[in-house]
Amino acid sequence: MKNTNEASEKPEVVLTGEHLTIEDIVAIGVGDKRVALSPQSLDRCRASRNFLEQELKTGKIIYGVNTSFGPMCNKIIRDADIETLQANLIRSHAAGLGDPLPPYIALATLTLRLNALVKGYSGVRIELLELMRDMINAGIAPYIPESGSVGASGDLVHLAHAALAIIGEGQVYRRGQLVSARAALAQAGLHPIALSYKEGLALMNGTSAMTALAAFALFGAEKLLRLAYLNAAFVMEIFGGIDDAFDPHLHALKPHPGQVEAAAIIRRLYQGSANITPRSRIHERINSARDNEQMVYQTNINVQDVYSIRCTAQILAPVVETIAAAIKTVEIEANGVNDNPVIVPDEGLILHGGNFHGQSLSFAMDMLGIAICTLSNLSERRINKLLDKHLNEGLPEHLIAGPAGLVMGFMGAQYLATSSTAETRHLANPMSIHSISCNASNQDVVSMGTIAARKTFRLVRNAKHVLTLETLADLQALALKKTTGLGFGTGRFHAELAPGFSVYDNQRVFHDDLTALRRQLFSSPLLDSLDAFLPPEET
């Protein structure tokens, strides 16, 4: 089958079913990379298919091949109808509703399904794998409604919609347009395939949609965490934060890995700053103000910063650890066999089991949602400190210089942070505990993993709103204070953002400033890594 990739110069990811990363999934989904199939993997797929063919010739009854599905598995299908069975399965289960998944997530879903099949344990033909490869490289993204999966036999409804495109039915996105699948295939020089036995089930029986959503949620979560580190360092610069809250000796005494990591990164980001307050300077200030004749005396000197500054490393500790654990879970799922039944030709086995069940992903996404909610809570409280004249240590009310009351500055924008954080708290409630028996009680314990991934993807979007606003408030505060002498990382980050920033003076629509900064933070490579913002080594 012809390879229809229209940008062959793009980097290539060779799918083996073993090494796909979250970064690969995202890059393929957005069209930055193309896919190829490993010859060794294709050899395994041929062996799997040959073994399945031989088993059928012996008259064996194999679930989903010559039987019906779910609670109807006791109904045996005649040989003459076993290919019709596969098309009937897809059409009947393409029963989703709601807004479509974004095309980049649909392409990632197709990629993940292909990566699972190319492992060689599903008994499908090579021509099916090659068509899926060519569809991905041609940017043909199936139209997949967001609602319909319980995450138990995987994403049956979502993947049925994806499979429709492969057989030339339903709709797809291509070049930003929604068109019929048959027309898009023809435009790309491809032809729909008539599915053989087992292939409809193999396309549908898996966790590919929830894994695609999870991958994009994690990709955004990692950027959010990096921005949270940078904003924590910014707020230390703005308020002259006291340095011993990030001292390595302190964190060594309660060495949660995430806490130690967060403290070290934030400390390195403000390294070299002229604005951080050493603990020794606090002692000097208090001693100079001491009145020896009073048992109790009051100064205007803070002895400790508020929790949203001082406890940042402790608050971010479980966030760091949760993101790391979720990455591991998602990449295992992305490279796992999540089909049923599973064909193992080397052992002469056809195994009926439940690798399609999404409980691990569901649990990981629920935990990630709580972590993202934590980031949003922390950011929202720091925004409030920056804007409240009773808390912001001399900064203008609502960060606006001018006649108070005539200009409102960041007043309206704070509602964005408050409402987004409130919605995020609601969405952070877990889905993995909400099993409801279905499929005539065949699927009596289900994961709701796709809903968990969908809501966490939305949580990430909401948190981006909040942290974008915090970053803009940081830039405004630094400008109003005419802050100089920034640290290594804060200085470099400020230099990246400064060309697109101008002090908000109430003469512009605030939305436009937010939109421009959000795009710079999350739709560019700026936060793909912190390497450019960290000094070579801690001193």
Pairing status of strand 12-15 against strand 34-37: parallel
Q: For residue 413, give both structure tokens.
A: 């924008």
Residue 269: burial class (beta carbons within 10 Å; 0-12, 13-18, 19+): buried
**Tally of CB atoms within 10 A around 108:** 30
Q: For residue 155, give both structure tokens.
A: 């994403």
Q: CB neighbours of 274 closer than 8 A, spacing ≥ 6?
A: 484, 485
How would DSSP label each residue in 243-271? GGGG-HHHHHTS--HHHHHHHHHHHHHTT
63 is annotated as an active-site residue: yes
Q: What gap in Å lies between CA 113 and CA 328, rounded to an integer? A: 19
**Tally of CB atoms within 10 A around 385:** 20
Q: What gap in Å lies between CA 230 and CA 392, rounded to an integer? A: 19
Pairing status of strand 177-180 against strand 171-174: antiparallel
Q: What gap in Å lies between CA 242 and CA 235, rounded to an integer? A: 11
Instruction: Report cis status (omega within 30 of 0) of the bond before 341.
Output: yes
Q: CB neighbours of 507 closer than 8 A, spacing ≥ 6?
A: none
Q: What gap in Å lies between CA 59 and CA 45, rounded to an integer? A: 22
Candidates 375, 466, 372, 450; CA nearest to 416 is 466
The single-letter code of the amino acid at 146 is E
Q: What gap in Å lies between CA 153 and CA 450, rounded to an integer? A: 11
Q: For residue 130, give both structure tokens.
A: 């090659």
Please tell me which residue in 63, 297, 415, 504 is annotated as part of the active site.
63
Greatest distance between any 2 Cα atoms in the chain:
102
The single-letter code of the amino acid at 137 is N
For residue 107, CA distances in Å to 33, 128, 162, 248, 356 come to 11, 16, 9, 44, 20
Query: Are 538 and 270 contacting, i.e. CB atoms less than 8 angstroms apart?
Result: no
Active-site residue list: 63
